[in-house]
Every structure is written in C-alpha cells, then in structure tokens.
Amino acid sequence: MRPKFGYSRWDGTQTGFDLDAEDVLAELTDDVLYHGDLNAALRRLLQAGMPERDIAGIRHLLDELRRRRREDLDRYDLGGAYHDLAQALRDVVDTERAALDGLPEAEAAERGVQLDLLPPDLAGRVQALQEYEFTSDEARRRFEALVEDLRRQLVQSQFNRMAGAMSDPDPAQLQRVKDMVDDLNQLLEMRQAGQDTDRAFGEFMLRHGDFFPSNPRTLDELLEHMAAQMAAAQAMFNSMSPEQRAQLQALSEQLLGDMDLQWQLDRLGHNLRDAVPGAGWDRGYDFAGQDPLGLVEGAGVLDRLGELDDLENLLRSATSPGALADVDVARAGQLLGEDAARSLERLAELSRLLAEAGLVENREGRFELTPRGLRRIGRNALADLFTRLSKDRLGRHAVDASGTGHERSDETKPYEFGDPFNLNIERTLRNALSARGGGTPVLLSPDDFEVDRTETLTRTSTVLMLDLSLSMPMRDNFLAAKKVAMALHSLISTQYPRDYLGIVGFSELAREMKPRDLPEVSWDFVYGTNMHHGLTLSRRMLARQSGTRQIIMITDGEPTAHVREGGEVFFHYPPMRETVDATLAEVARCTRDGICINTFMLDATPYLKAFVGELTRLNRGRAFFTTPDTLGDYVLLDFIEQKRSRRSAS
C-alpha cells in the first residue's frame, strides 16, 4: 500500500520545526569568525534574534515594549477621575436643591446657603456634605454610595491585585484590611529588629492568607508582592499634578483617617521602602491622553507600566541567554503578547542548547567552543562556501585508481608477476579448495594466489598564510579570509586526513596558529604586512613535512615590513626596496626547497599585481585576483583540483 499523508494549517502545536543547537551555531558562525569572540556573538544574537525562525531579538522586544508604554501614556488622563467625581458631587447637590422646593421658604433658603458655601475642593466638599442633613433621600443615598465607592477605590488603589475579598469592602471588611496592615507592619518591624519571623509569618498567613491569591511561601515573597502594589500606587501619585496630589492626599485623610487606616498605610509604605528599596518608589509618568482613569484602574495601569520598566531593565542588562531565565514568561506574554513570550523563552534556551549538544562549555562564567563545536564551525564554513559552487563540482572528488601504494582496498585480483605479494589468504584458500576439493593438507599452486589491490596515495602538506593586518577588516576582507581558513581545515581533516595543514597569521610579525584557536583569532591593531616573516615561518613548518608542499597566501596588501638580520622589524609604507628584496629572497628559498606558493589577492592594486607577478615568475606558483565573495570558491576548488591532478599523476 502506498503511504498516505495528511496536511493541515500550522497552528504552533505541531512538532518537527524545533530549534536545535546546530541551528544556533550556524547563526553564530560568521560572527564568531569575524570578531573571534563567542560570548560577544551570543550577545549580538540575543539582540538581533532569529527572524527567519520567528524568534524576535531583544531590540525588537524593547521596541514593542516602548510602543505599548506609549499607547497607555497617550490614552489616559489621571485627572479625569477627579472631573468625574466633581460632576457626581454636583449631581448630588442639584438633586438636593430640587428637593428644597418642598420646604418652608426660610428653611429652604438656609439650606440653599449651606449648599452655596460648600468648599470648592473635593475633600472639603465631601467632608461638608458628610455633615450636611439631606432633605432628599435620593441625594443622600447617592452621596453615601459615592463615598463608599471612593473609599473602596482608595483602598484598592493600594492593593490592586489582592483577592476578591477586596472587591467590595464594607466597613467590617475595611477593618480586616486595617488589622492585616497592622499585623504586617509588626512583622516588618520584627524583621528590622533582627528577630526571627518564620513563626510570625506562618501565623500571619493563617489569619490573612485570603488577601494574597499568589500564596507567598516566604516573607521575602510577600514583601516583594506588597512593595510592587504600593510602589504602583506611589507611581500614580508621583505622576499627578501638584493639585491632583493634594486632592488625593486630602481625600485619603478624610475617608480613611476616621478608622486609622491611612496612618497604617503610610506606616506600611515607609516600612516597605526600607525593606524593598528597589521596587521603583520614585517612578512617575507623563500621561497625555483623554480617557479618564479612575483610582483602581489607574493603579492597574501604573502597575503594568512598572512591570514594563522592570522587564526593560532586565532585557537591557541581559548579556547572555542565561540572564533571561529570570523573566516571568507568562507575565511577559500578558504584557507583550504570546509571540514575544515564545521568543524570550527561545532566547533563554540558546546557551543551554549549545552546552547540552557539547558544542560549548562554560568556563568560569564564559562560554568557549569545545573541539566538537570547533569542527562544527569548520563544517558550517565549508558548507557555506560549497553551496556557491556548481553541482558538477560538488562531492568528495574521489579518484578511483589502483597501484602500488601501501593502503589496501576492499578488492582483490589474481596474482601477476611483479605484483607486491599482499596475499589474501581467504581468497587464495577458497581458490585452492574450489579447484582440488577438500581435505588436508590444502595443496596450493601459483594459479590459486590472489592478492589485495592497493590505493594510490598522495600526501599534500599545506601552510595557509592569513593576512591579519588592519587593512583586512577595513576593506571587508577579513571574514571571507577567515572562513576560508576554517573551511580548508574542515575539508582536509574530514576528506584528506593524511594531509597536513598549518596556519600562519601575519601582520607586523608572523605567528603559527593552531586550528583550535582559529574561531577566536581576530585582526591585529597594528600596521605592517610582513610576508617575509610569514614565508620564513611557513618554510620551517613545511621542512618537517613530506609529500607535495605548498603555501597558500591570502592577502590584500603589498609587503610593507620585514625582519632584519638583527631581529628588529622594519616597517615602511609605501614599500621600500629593502623589504621587497628580503621577501623575494625568502620566496627563492621556498622555491629551492620545492615549496609552491599560490597567492590569492583580495585587493589587486597595481603595485600588488606587480609584486605578485614577480613572486610567481620566481616561484612558478600561481596568482589569483579575487574578491571576498569568490575567494572560497577559488581556494577550495584549486586545492581539490590540485589534489585530483596529483592523485591521477601518481
């Protein structure tokens, strides 16, 4: 039966598209090769994200965070609640005035004067109406409801995320709130005095745990929760105009002072400031919208703005994926949306994925590539370069040749005079038994002999000379050159393991580099292109190697430095004849030692062309004028074609 397949729209729940460690390292490869710093590359990946995988970076998340903050600030008006309250009081007074028409004229006039003399400020007007004897039952009921609603808002603005017990507090419930705040103050003062609070905290939660739906397990969790609530209320207070702050302060003292609750709240705020100083007590915002914002709604908005500030600070300070582990992903989803929450979750996993795959390891707080990670970086560079080549040039470029080498293949052949006597015992005995039957001893004849075929082997010893002078990054040549070095190392170590590859970096001076150090190699902040020293060091390295020997030099500048007989470095730009002669003398030594020099020029200036032309005439190597985009194609294809031609010749 033919298999059946079903297709459906992607909804985010299907598997098969998960991010893995190799995907992450592929994203990091170019950055690591260019800057030579894995940790800096991780930081930059955090900032940029992986848009092709729908993983937003920190920069995008910060932009979304600022946009959402701006939406709130441009929408709301903190003074709108006072306008609504003033209008509600005017409506109460108008209802009362309408009822005065049924009173005797003298009494109606007296009460009318009382209403005319009501204070202009909200707190004074509320206090005066509390002492006023209403004629209208409707006006009295509306005023009492207004006062109770205002008292509820004042309390809830301090504790806007408490349990449902705070949704409609009656006088008895407000008394419970006062008792809870008093007990919490005592608990805080015990802690400030250095007393053990574990037992007192347990007793507090038994009495007042219904106020805290988050069920804090420690006193610290409780204090952080309460500090966040009261800091949001303080931020709203800080965001008001001086007139609005004065009105709120007076209303709080008027409506909460009669039960001593305002004093307890002020005391709690002071204690929490000492216990949790970093809760954002000094925050304030400039609202510029039109929608009136009540006290309860305002506390919620300010709480959300405070959380956006905290998230922004955390994202700004995140220097590694592990730092994002402190983000509350669920809350981030509520603040910024589910897509942002998923991105944060993925970003936080980057270093863990790399470590679990064995590609990096954490050493004293810094990530370093493991040998496996180094090989993966090389394969990534190799794959990136090979994808540019035409299909007819892809593959392992194997040559099926047989001959007299020392490496046996899996094939055999009848023995012929002159063949190495690499006798295959199994095939020889089988031939004898087939020809003359079983029994012992087994009788052999020369016609029974069968020998193993052997592969033709060639060995290439290569030193890659990599220009690390400052001109390489200045001309955007460094990344391409370093990627070629990684790719060539990966190609030789995986496809031609018998070959030798040495690496020499040169600028003012030359130095040998190990393949394990390549990812972290960066350019030198010095002037000077010392080909002379690089060729000298390469020649000495190849003197210890066998097989075909060659130097591959990648550069973008003419020789401007050399090492004098006394050991000092001489630098001059433009090049001096002394430097050119010293460099060509070293080319002649390489030529006498049978070392071929192939030069890849990334910035073919007339002077560089002239010098390389002289070099190639002297050495009989080859010169390539190339660009960063095609450098890898030239180097890899040239290496492979040379390898194939040598094996064919052998």
For 401-449, what is each residue's pLDDT tens digit? 443 345 556 678 888 877 778 888 888 888 988 888 888 888 888 888 9
CB 315 within 8 A of CB 336: no
Q: What is the pLDDT of residues 451-477, one digit of tens each?
A: 887 655 567 899 999 999 998 998 888
Among 444, 451, 454, 445, smallest CA distance to 416 is for 451
| CB 262, CB 256: distance < 8 Å | yes
pLDDT of residue 462: 92
**Tens-place pLDDT, residues 254-309:** 777 666 778 888 888 899 999 889 888 888 899 988 888 877 788 788 888 988 99
Residue 223 contacts by C-beta under 8 Å, 6 or more apart in sequence?
Answer: 188, 272, 275, 276
Residue 412, CA distances (Å) to 168, 404, 426 in order? 95, 13, 11
pLDDT at residue 398 tops 60: no
Beta carbons of 474 and 29 less than 8 angstroms apart: no
pLDDT above 90 coverage of the chain, percent: 26
Tabulate helix, strand, coil % of the chain (nearest 5): 60, 10, 30
The pLDDT score that the predictor gives to residue 401 is 41
Of residues 334 and 364, more confidence is placed in: 334
Cα gap 283→232, rounded to integer Å: 8
Residue found by looking up tokens 């005391």 in the block: 267
Q: Coil, strand, or helix at residue 623? A: strand
Q: 3-class SS at 594? A: coil
The better pLDDT of the pair 167, 258 is held by 258
Mean pLDDT of 101-109: 86
32 has pLDDT over 90? no
Q: What DSSP element (H or E) covers 298?
A: helix 295-317
Q: Is 503 helix (H, G, I), strand (E, B) or coil?
A: strand
Rounded distance between C-alpha atoms, residue 38 and residue 365, angstroms? 13
Confidence of residue 163 (pLDDT cuts 50, 70, 90): very low
pLDDT bucket at 160, cuts 50 / 70 / 90: low
Strands 569-571, 561-563: parallel, antiparallel or unpaired by DSSP? antiparallel
pLDDT, residue 244, reads: 81
Confidence of residue 164 (pLDDT cuts 50, 70, 90): very low
Task: Give one DSSP letter per residue of 411-452, joined into a string.
Answer: EEEE--TTS---B-HHHHHHHHHHHH-S-SSPP--GGG-EEE
Least confident among 294-303, 360-369, 641-650: 641-650
Three-state DSSP at 600 gives strand
Q: Compute the distance between CA of residue 593 and CA of residue 510 in angstroms, rounded to an integer.
A: 20
Assess whether pLDDT exceeds 50 at residue 62. yes
Lowest-pLDDT range of 180-189, 382-391, 535-544, 553-562: 382-391
Torsion angle of alpha carbons 12, 16, 20, 26, nearest 10°?
-100
Does residue 232 register a pLDDT over 50? yes
Residue 515 pLDDT > 60, yes or no? yes
Q: Which residue has the higher pLDDT, 586 or 263?
A: 586
- Spatial separation of the C-alpha atoms in residues 156 and 151, rounded to whole Å: 9
Average of per-residue pLDDT values in the chain: 84
pLDDT of residue 153: 79
What domains sit in the chain, N to C, each tagged with a CATH number?
21-75+309-369 (no CATH), 80-308 (no CATH), 402-455 (no CATH), 460-649 (3.40.50.410)
Per-residue pLDDT for 508 more than 80? yes
pLDDT confidence of 65, banded at 50, 70, 90? very high
- With a CB cutoff of 8 Å and minimum separation 6, the contacts of 254 are 123, 126, 127
Rounded Cα distance between 628 and 481, Å, is: 7
User: Residue 49 pLDDT more than 50?
Assistant: yes
Cβ contacts of 104 within 8 Å, gap of 6 or more = none
- The pLDDT of residue 312 is above 70: yes
Confidence (pLDDT) at 80: 72
Say yes or no to pLDDT of 548 above 80.
yes
Write down the residue that tokens 């990136």 correspond to.
Answer: 384
Percent of the chain with pLDDT over 70: 88
Residues in the chain: 650
Looking at residue 13, what is its pLDDT?
55
Bond from prior residue into 515 cis (ω within 30 degrees of 0): no
